[in-house]
Amino acid sequence: MRRMSLFNVTSLTLVAAFLYLPILLLIIYSFNESKLVTVWGGFSTKWYGELLRNEQFLDAAWVTLKVAVISSTIATVLGTMAALVLVRAGRFIGRTLFSGMIYAPLVMPEVITGLSLLLLFIAAGVDRGATTIILAHATFSMCYVSVVVSSRLVTFDRSLEEAARDLGCTPWDAFFSVTLPIIAPAVIAGWLLAFTLSLDDLVIASFTSGPGATTLPMRIYSAVRLGVSPEINALSTILIGLVSIGVIAASLAGKRSART
Amino acid sequence: MSQTSAVFAPWAEADAKPLISFDRVTKSFGGFIAVDDLSVDIYEREFFALLGPSGCGKTTMMRMLAGFETPTEGEIRLGGEVLRDQPPNARPVNMMFQSYALFPHLSVADNIAFGLKRSQMSKPDITARTEQMLELVQLKDFAKRKPHQLSGGQRQRVALARSLAKSPKLLLLDEPLGALDKKLRQQTQFELMNIQESLGTTFMIVTHDQEEAMTVASRIAVMDKGKIIQVATPGEIYEYPINRYVADFIGDVNVIEAHATGTDTATLTRGEGLKPLEASWGRLTAGDGKLWLALRPEKVQVSVDAPQGTSNALQGKVIDIAYSGNLTTYHVEIDSGQIVMAQEVNRRHLADRSITWEDPVWLSWDKGAGVLMRG
Amino acid sequence: MGRRVLIAIPFLWLLILFLIPFLIVFKISLSDYALARPPYLPQYNPDEGLWALISQLDFETYAFIFSDSLYINAYLSSLQIAAICTLACLALGYPMAYAMARAPKRWQPLLVMLVILPFWTSFLIRVYAWIGILKTEGLLNVFLLWTGAIAEPLAIYNTNIAVCIGIIYTYLPFMILPLYATLERMDDSLLEAAEDLGCSRLSAFWSITLPLSLPGIIAGSFLVFIPAVGEFVIPDLLGGSSNLMIGKTLWVEFFNNRDWTVASAVAMLMLAGLIIPIVLFQRQQERDREAGR
């Protein structure tokens, strides 16, 4: 019934090209034999081999993964609670402050968040390392989680919970056996969002990390400052591949769960 | 109803103990009074209907029984016991929700077993009871389905089975048939009545559909602004409404202002030189100030010639004719300028109708047909 | 009881890890630079009490910042770049979001995925991809020289143009998604009604579609503008040493000059400039949530 006008097709194509061409070029040049980035020296996978022998990158990847898993899990628990407060708790003293603290980190420049957390850790005399990065990431990710979960909770039919109570559930039992399974897709989406935000973060991690805890973005950043290298291209390609597989798998799983 | 209503009338027995009693219950939300100093008794095995427009407090009454709201003042008793401090999960009361509130992540069988799993029941007993409930609502073949794979009528039956599974002392039904189309609704009303009779559970239904309340209920409470205006059997409510609100709410009615005298039958005086009308006192006693005559359209006959042998006759002119297939409703303007509706069953073919627009006609009715009520 | 615990846990967490850090930043911005560890004075001394600390605070650092045109210029250029990029994102994102919303229903999830996918891939990598393209000997120049469109390589890398390209590229999905969300919700029959009442296609767009998509435009603009002002990675990687954006200035003051007081004062001023858009954004989010209810 709906037909796409030429204008619409053109704008879709151009914007999609703008979004994907740089990434595509990056991937193509990761298979370049030549060390020079702009000269095509034939197909090769040697940079992937080099990458796998680079202990620094592997260590950083491990730290990043650890930080991301833990921080996103904390963020999901806290963010879901915050969403419940926003949607369900009604009025209480400090509500405006609370919702302010939820929404502000979403748009807060990262340098400010990073700086303020670093100064807190210094003032509190906390040793900086993976733990402080986890705390920092959990804090700003929980706000994203709470936005995702609260948008689902708003449309949640309260009578489902009342039905559970009516059929003999305590409030806790009703939450865990009815509410949580139903909002689970949003909670999982929140976790995934928190996870990628943590994987991706350079600025806040740079501020809050200490010696011995270098994340992958920090490694990439210091390598990139020295210029373009095919090894980074190879690393980027692997990361893009992993994320794409993850996102597509998650969306397929989401579709299936929406159907059943 | 197939049960003999002459036998089943516990509200008329002096020594009958009510299952539920509202004792001067008030519920206010902030400044808004949803239920206003309301008292009513409901007896075991009753099918009790709360009828009223939205916002009249009927849903609040139901939610107080289920335990989702607490009365601001007064007490609700179930079997003589005060309910106030019992949480919803501890009450022997179950509710069927307007939206059905079926758990979308659980199968039909798991939905029905949900409440049983939270009782002291053993696993095999739960399975047996679930089977039994599935059979009761004829959904045996659908046990493994998820709610979204069912039709509206099937969902309604799952919701009913789920709320009945724990054998509650009282089942609350919140607009249980509101989401069904008209045909299915009528059919389901009878199913509901059959189930209620066979189980003997006390049902309390909230509805704004007067036809539904008339069909299913043993007694109807007509509510307005947090108060019960009249509680009575469907027949009583229809034939002897105590005021204009009740008369208006249930079915169509002509309401005519009246000045009444007399004792056994009321005599309605009219303007000079006009014959007085006769009417029943209804549930009023003689000499009750300013009154109104309720006259159901189907009890009024239309004729071209002056009727014989009745004093209840008025002259008028046909303004409108509403033809609805089985019935024809004539809107007749009488001398005072008021429009009176008269309904006729169409026994003859449409083409044979003898009365048409602008025709002068006579309206007449039996002396018992008109009932007096308060404003 | 349960409700109180539910409120208290996230509340306290945010209080300790979000609000209190700001108070610390504010306090340091009122302190003076010193050769100490940490590099500022006064520091809290339990013996002297809180009042002694407060009495030593002053606005000297702020006075210094306002007297040096470096900071003012950095601030203004950040606002300018962020504003330009926001408008560019709107110009690019609106037709895209519109086309997405008008696309056949079964394509729409795929198109949304198309916009979201780059957003999930590493931000750093996406900025890095542009270095290889924009460099003097980069792919863009190689391509343009090969086609003969230019004789000399373009010097885009290490300029504000490169920074803008980077910001637009990175933040475009943040503009498209809220726009798409409002446009997709819109009832087609509104446009049909407008046309039925005598509007042309174009005037129907101006008088119906555009006003109704205003919430999306506002949300998208906030989501691009606010973080763009404080952006650090993009100006650092694409803008070269000549670029002065406020986020980068803060980073340099803190990490390179170890001047915590100036870095803190810059952070406070940046926040002061952004507080109005942030509050507006928060209000709108709250309204959206209420409306959703």
Model pLDDT, residue A211: 82
Question: Residue B169 pLDDT more than 90?
Answer: yes
Question: Residue B21 pLDDT more than 60?
Answer: yes
Q: Is any Cβ of chain A less than 8 angstroms from the Cβ of C33?
A: no
Buried-state track C203-219, b at ≥16 Cβ within 10 A, e below 16: ebeeebbeebbebbbbb
pLDDT, tens digit, 9 for 90 and up, residues B337-353: 889 999 988 887 777 77
Q: Is any Cβ of chain A less than 8 angstroms from the Cβ of C145?
A: no
CB distance B87–A181 less than 8 Å? no
Question: Residue A166 pLDDT more than 80?
Answer: yes
Question: Residue B297 pLDDT more than 90?
Answer: yes
CA of A244, closest CA in chain B: separation in Å?
Answer: 29
Model pLDDT, residue A258: 57
Tell me, yes or no, if the pTM score tops 0.90: no
CB distance A18–C133 less than 8 Å? no
Q: What is the token pair recorded at C280?
A: 């507006």
Contacts of C122 (CB under 8 A, 6+ apart): A199, A200, A217, A220, A236, A239, A240, A243
Chain A residues touching C105 at Cβ < 8 A: 2
CA of C149, closest CA in chain A: separation in Å?
Answer: 19
When pLDDT is cut at 50, 70 and 90, the band that residue C289 belongs to is low
Q: What is the token pair recorded at B341?
A: 């509706």
Model pLDDT, residue C61: 87
Model pLDDT, residue A256: 64
- Of chain A, the percentage scoring pLDDT greater than 90 comes to 41
Model pLDDT, residue B272: 67
Model pLDDT, residue A41: 75
pLDDT, tens digit, 9 for 90 and up, residues B138-165: 999 999 999 999 999 999 999 999 999 9
Model pLDDT, residue B70: 93
Q: What is the token pair recorded at C66?
A: 């306002």
Interval C2-22 mean pLDDT:
92
Interval A228-254 mean pLDDT:
82
pLDDT, tens digit, 9 for 90 and up, residues A71-105: 999 999 999 999 999 998 888 888 889 988 888 88
List C-alpha distances in Å: A254 to A243, A248, C20, C292.
16, 10, 38, 22
For residue B161, give the chain A residue with the closest CA: A167
Of the candidates A162, A166, A260, the beta carbon closest to that of B146 is on A260
Model pLDDT, residue A8: 86
Model pLDDT, residue A46: 82
When pLDDT is cut at 50, 70 and 90, the band that residue C149 belongs to is confident
Question: Residue A10 pLDDT more than 60?
Answer: yes
For residue A158, give the chain B residue with the closest CA: B101
Measure the CA–CA gap between B20 and B170, rounded to whole angstroms: 9
pLDDT, tens digit, 9 for 90 and up, residues C232-288: 999 999 988 777 888 888 988 888 888 888 999 999 988 888 888 778 777 777 777
Top pLDDT among B245 and A105 is at B245
When pLDDT is cut at 50, 70 and 90, the band that residue B232 belongs to is very high
Q: What is the token pair recorded at B274?
A: 């006009």
pLDDT, tens digit, 9 for 90 and up, residues C54-111: 777 888 888 888 888 888 899 899 999 999 999 999 999 999 999 999 888 888 888 9
Measure the CA–CA gap between B62 and B67, rounded to whole angstroms: 9
CB distance A165–B67 less than 8 Å? yes
Mapped onto helix, strand or coil, the DSSP state of residue B9 is coil
pLDDT, tens digit, 9 for 90 and up, residues A102-121: 888 887 888 899 999 999 99
Instruction: Enumerate neighbours of B (3 or more CB pairs within 8 A).
Output: A
Model pLDDT, residue C285: 72
CB distance A154–C289 less than 8 Å? yes
Q: Which ipTM score applies to this complex?
A: 0.87
Q: Does an interface of 3+ CB pairs under 8 Å exist between C and B?
A: no
pLDDT, tens digit, 9 for 90 and up, residues C192-240: 888 888 888 888 888 888 888 988 998 899 889 988 998 999 999 998 8
Model pLDDT, residue B3: 47
Q: List, as ranges, residues 154-183 from C with C-beta within 8 Å of A.
A: 169, 172-173, 176
Closest Cα partner for B244 from B373, B113, B122, B105? B373
Measure the CA–CA gap between B91 and B80, rounded to whole angstroms: 13
Q: List, as ranges, residues 225-244 from C with C-beta within 8 Å of A.
A: 226-227, 229-233, 236-237
Question: Residue A2 pLDDT more than 60?
Answer: no
Mapped onto helix, strand or coil, the DSSP state of residue C213 is coil
Backbone angles phi, psi at C140, to 5 degrees: -65, -50
C19, C134, C285, C288, best to mutate vs chain A, most A CBs in 10 Å: C285
- Label residue B181 exposed, middle or buried (CB < 10 Å: 0-12, 13-18, 19+): exposed
